[in-house]
């Protein structure tokens, strides 16, 4: 059962071919066997999940179907607030935090009938590209446990790839859904900024953060997106735009679609196996009626440095609330308020979080604001204009998701600049606020997954899902990593 698609599982429950309790019990058993090998979950909810599954079965018996996820076991990244269930952001500073409310994403998943299995590991406060920056220890890639799963939503991507949930919801600030999806051989989508509510999603960089689905197939991702997307008055950045039928879009095809190939994304640094796989994805689109168009995004080379000013600056502001006074961890034995705050933050935050807070504080400081943060915002505008001009000529843009397949655990952890380059192809979409999706398109000679990235116009997730579904159908690949308990 763990190899079923989410939509197949949902249909089986609706048709009473299997009960939600049987499905949930099977996945909880698989988590018990598999999770010790990959460390994808930080909190598992066996009793609560079985109660929810029993309630969904009772509703089915009465002819009630809540939505497309009814009775299906899913899980979420441990960055979304869950009422009465610890929400840690994989940080010691929030290790025992029990939120008093559910995030909007959690509310909507539950309203659609899903069964929540647990909360998944991540890079601390979503700051990382490998899910090695967690107070709970690193997540391992189920395709090769000596490799990283990507980050920061590595726990969610690894759990989906290992068959320990049918889908999950992650967050993407600079590639944190798409990059781990690529490295774990699953589908991951960052919707348009404002498409999915950020209410109850613990903030890293507020102008960049966006929640989105991680699933094993494109239609499954579309089904989850249809549930979590939509306006929310509690989020001031939420946009009131109608939510289309995303699942139907996966059957639309690509005939007549213009696919942009930005020359800046296929330059030096792309692994040969990645280049070959993405070329195959392009060929599959062309074979079904799409047209390839070479384009240029001339300010791409500035995206990485722009991001690593804006994101740390916003993190510095957002993480100021963790001071030991209001909630979360508090250092013991301090002699005064200043010492207590300093020790709390020094002991509660990990090294990567401290690094980014210090970078951000510096960039925002008097005398440096205009030189760094102000200039970065101007470059961000140029990047957005690049995409707007490109979309005057093409419908979607095709690129690699990551420059290489998954690297080894510990290989880049002591070299932050090299680690940051892992997100070089995903960061521009966050700066521009446009949607992006990663879909599996091949395997490396070492048997590691490779993903192709598709980028689209604001609020045109449908075109991305249509193109991604074609690649998925034309390049069939294993949906679940061959990892047994």
Q: Look at residues 251, 218, 196, 237 and name the one whose alpha carbon lies nearest to residue 76.
A: 196
Show the tokens assigned to 228.
Answer: 């979590």
Q: Look at residues 44, 211, 61, 59 and name the one whose alpha carbon lies nearest to residue 126.
A: 211
Sign, CA torsion 40/42/47/50: negative
Q: Which residues are catalytic?
A: 77, 152, 176
b/e code 362-397 from CB counts within 10 Å (16+ = b)? ebbeeeeeeebbeebeebbeebbebbeebbeebbbb
Query: What contacts 47, CB < 8 A, 6 or more positions away?
Result: none
H helix and E strand count, the chain: 16, 11
Sign, CA torsion 116/121/125/129: negative
Measured between alpha carbons, how far is 36 from 47 in angstroms, rounded to an integer? 19
Sign, CA torsion 15/472/140/114: negative
Length, in residues, of the chain: 485
């Amino acid at each position: 059962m763990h190899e079923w698609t989410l939509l197949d599982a949902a249909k089986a429950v609706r048709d009473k071919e299997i009960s939600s309790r049987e499905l949930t019990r099977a996945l909880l058993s698989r988590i018990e066997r598999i999770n010790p090998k990959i460390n994808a979950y930080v909190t598992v909810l066996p009793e609560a999940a079985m109660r929810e599954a029993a309630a969904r079965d009772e509703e089915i018996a009465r002819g009630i179907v809540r939505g497309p996820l009814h009775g299906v076991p899913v899980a979420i990244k441990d960055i979304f607030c869950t009422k009465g269930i610890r929400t840690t952001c994989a940080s010691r500073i929030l290790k025992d935090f029990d939120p008093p409310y559910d995030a909007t994403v959690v509310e909507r998943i539950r309203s659609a009938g899903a069964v929540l299995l647990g909360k998944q590991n991540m890079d601390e406060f979503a700051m990382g590209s490998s899910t090695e920056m967690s107070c709970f220890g690193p997540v391992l890639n189920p395709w090769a446990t000596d490799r990283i799963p990507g980050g920061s939503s590595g726990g969610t991507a690894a759990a989906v790839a290992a068959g320990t949930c049918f889908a999950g919801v992650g967050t993407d600030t600079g590639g944190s859904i798409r990059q781990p999806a690529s490295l774990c051989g699953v589908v991951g989508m960052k919707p348009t900024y404002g498409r999915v509510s950020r209410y109850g999603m613990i903030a890293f960089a507020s102008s960049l953060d966006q929640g989105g689905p991680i699933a094993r197939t494109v239609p499954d991702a579309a089904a989850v997106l249809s549930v979590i997307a939509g306006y929310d008055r509690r989020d001031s950045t939420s946009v009131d735009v109608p939510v289309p039928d995303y699942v139907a879009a996966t059957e639309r095809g690509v005939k007549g679609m213009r696919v942009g190939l930005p020359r800046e994304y296929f330059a030096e640094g792309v692994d040969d196996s990645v280049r070959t796989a993405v070329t195959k994805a392009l060929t599959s689109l062309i074979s079904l009626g799409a047209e390839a168009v070479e384009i240029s995004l001339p300010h791409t080379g500035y995206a990485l440095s722009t991001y690593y000013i804006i994101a740390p600056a916003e993190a510095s502001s957002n993480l100021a609330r963790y001071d030991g006074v209001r909630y979360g961890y508090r250092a013991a034995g301090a002699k005064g308020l200043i010492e207590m705050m300093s020790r709390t933050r020094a002991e509660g935050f990990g090294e990567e979080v401290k690094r980014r807070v210090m970078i951000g504080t510096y960039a925002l400081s008097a005398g440096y604001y205009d030189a760094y943060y102000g200039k970065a915002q101007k470059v961000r505008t140029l990047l957005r204009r690049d995409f707007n001009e490109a979309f005057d000529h093409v419908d979607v843009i095709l690129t690699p998701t990551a420059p290489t397949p998954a690297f080894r655990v510990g290989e880049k952890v002591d070299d932050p600049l090299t680690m940051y380059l892992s997100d070089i192809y995903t960061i521009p979409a966050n700066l521009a606020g446009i949607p992006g999706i990663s879909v599996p398109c091949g395997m490396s000679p070492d048997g590691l997954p490779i993903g192709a990235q598709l980028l689209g116009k604001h609020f045109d997730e449908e075109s991305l899902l249509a193109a991604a579904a074609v690649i998925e159908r034309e390049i069939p690949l294993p949906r679940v990593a061959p990892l047994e308990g």
